[in-house]
Structure 1
């Protein structure tokens, strides 16, 4: 399974293409795109939205992902910032839909829980775990790391549900079991993340 993960923004766009097979994740492409520079002109907001659409469209054409995952919007203190983020998400989602991909959305806390093991992880923790899980030589930029984390979150959740459904467990019960597994992990005192446990089970 190949997943395109996108961390949308109106200034910087994080993108990552991850291959996931038998519990093993491989980084195919990871990048933080400076949208003002990408417009090569005034860098005004509407041009940046066009750049978001263009970049996602190019990645779909170049890497042919099977799935598309993006972070859900969260509210900033500034309504204007929230609106700009929503518009950037819309541009990325439009490109994915045009490319024939199903769109999967995850809340930031869900992504952090899946990759780090806690929904309150900070950016440095996310960068560290992405580096570790993808066997990268160095920690990626924050936006690229977030995009990779979103893609990894989708890979782990998708794989867990497929495994449970293959064992003839109804989807609703499978989702409940997944939540229970996460709850048990949150009560653990060890440092091993839930994602690493999921990867071990998938092998």
Structure 2
């Protein structure tokens, strides 16, 4: 599958690694940046190509597995994900929502804090224009991260994901997260033991129980 990246060896002692995701059920884009001091660089970007997979549930399963694999490889500190665009096509919106939900679930399973950004906000942060085209976003990411031509992909889903990660970096403490909310699923479990045990069933309950058991050992 199309991917451009730096060697994993460059991941030694990062100050902050951010995974960006542009959800989709045909092509899901991802981009990973690392901040070290004042320097920000791209670690990887690529797509998860699912356009030949007919079954929607198989698509979602593969998204879940691939996102977990990316997280395990690059160990991001945070996930920045683009919110579904509320357009006229309800079916497309529902498909994007499913892909986004599965990607979020994969990050939750690895206890990664999650931040969501509207497409307009990402475009505004990157280009200064909330109505910018995907091509303009890609060009700005190329300039901001000093990417070479051979590092760029023809899939704009990848550069959109990279833009989501960079948008989160630019927020500098003003992330789109509810004030006072826990920074991760683990944090939520720590502060809401009764609510979690009473309100969840199945895989979520097993995850909560495992986290609670881990906390007791610490």
Of residues 25, 30, 36, the one that matches 2:51 is: 36
**Unaligned stretches of 5+ residues in structure 1:** 163-170, 172-203
Write out aligned runs for 1:28-177 (5 A): 28-37=43-52, 42-138=53-149, 139-140=152-153, 141-157=155-171, 159=172, 161=174
Aligned to 2:23: 8
User: How far has the Cα of 1:76 moved from its partner?
Assistant: 2.5
- CA distance 1:3–1:122, shift in 2 (3 Å): same
1:161 is displaced (CA, Å) by: 4.5
Residue aligning to 1:198: none
Question: SS of the counterpart of 2:19?
Answer: strand
How far the C-alpha of 1:145 sits from its partner, in A, is 0.3
The reply to whether residue 25 of structure 1 matches residue 25 of structure 2 is no
Structure ranking higher in helix proportion: 1
TM-score relative to the length of structure 2: 0.69
| Cα 1:118/1:22, change in 2 over 3 Å | farther
Report the equivalent of 2:5. none
Q: TM-score, normalization: structure 1?
A: 0.73
Deviation at 1:43, TM superposition (A): 3.3
Q: How many residues get paired?
A: 158
Aligned to 2:129, what secondary structure does the other structure show?
coil
Q: Is the 8 A contact 1:36 1:44 kept in 2?
A: no
